[in-house]
């Protein structure tokens, strides 16, 4: 009797392994290849200064004016369905992100060498601290961010995208945005 039970357990283990392998193979077959992007030469430029950003982030926020230019080098170049954006989150706001409006609503296109440049606008008081992030969005998120930018521009109202689009109310959660962050830096208003 004991031998029969052991045989049944082994048979079930083999079947379980076969099912697990089949599931893993199916998942891998349906998965697209994800590009691992790298950013180098990241800089924050304001009217008076240019700061090279160490991507391990210095222990203090970089002091800047309220309008900055973020530039860097992205390698490899963007895939067909990937989109580069800049977004800003004030420390005073726990979960709110504001996409930054650049070029094509906000979508930044690196040049052939991978260089990119975009603006970021920081509203607040001297000493306020912000996270400025560089995001890689897929087509679906890019569409939501683009609609937010277009609708915000048309209404001249810029609510955080985490609270919703000013016309259709479409929201993008903080977790989804933070899952697309390729690089981030901390900025303090002068």
- Residue 27, pLDDT score: 45
Question: Strands (DSSP E) along the chain, which ranges?
Answer: 38-45, 50-52, 62-64, 67-75, 83-90, 98-99, 115-121, 129-137, 181-189
Q: How confident is the model at residue 31 (pLDDT cuts 50, 70, 90)?
A: very low
b/e map of 149-185 (b: 16 or more CB within 10 Å)? bbbbeeeeebbbbbeebbeeeebbebeebbebebbbb
Query: By C-alpha distance, which of 151, 147, 128 is closest to 139?
Result: 147
What is the tens place of the pLDDT at every residue in 140-167? 999 999 999 999 999 999 999 999 999 9
Which of these ranges, 9-23, 26-40, 101-115, 117-131, has the smallest mean pLDDT? Answer: 9-23
What is the tens place of the pLDDT at every residue in 172-182? 999 999 999 99
Distance of CA 177 to the CA centre of its chain: 5
Mean pLDDT, residues 50-66 = 79
Domains of the chain by residue range: 1-31, 38-189
Q: Tell me which of 2.60.40, 3.30.70, 1.10.8, 3.90.1690 is the CATH number of domain 38-189.
A: 2.60.40
């Amino acid at each position: 009797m004991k031998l029969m039970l052991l045989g049944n357990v082994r048979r079930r283990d083999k079947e379980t392994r076969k099912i697990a392998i089949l599931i893993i193979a199916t998942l891998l077959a349906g998965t697209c290849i994800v590009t691992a992007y790298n950013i180098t030469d990241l800089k924050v430029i304001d009217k008076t200064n240019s700061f090279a950003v160490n991507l391990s982030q210095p222990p203090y926020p970089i002091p800047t004016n309220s309008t900055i230019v973020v530039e860097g080098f992205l390698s490899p170049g963007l895939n067909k369905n990937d989109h580069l954006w800049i977004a800003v989150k004030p420390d005073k706001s726990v979960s709110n992100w504001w996409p930054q409006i650049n070029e094509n609503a906000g979508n930044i296109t690196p040049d052939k060498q991978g260089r990119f440049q975009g603006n970021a606008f920081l509203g607040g008081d001297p000493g306020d601290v912000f996270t400025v992030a560089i995001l890689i969005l897929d087509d679906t998120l890019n569409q939501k961010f683009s609609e937010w930018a277009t609708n915000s521009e048309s209404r001249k109202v810029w609510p955080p995208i985490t609270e919703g689009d000013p016309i259709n109310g479409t929201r993008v959660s903080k977790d989804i945005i933070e899952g697309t962050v390729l690089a981030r830096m901390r900025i303090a208003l002068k």
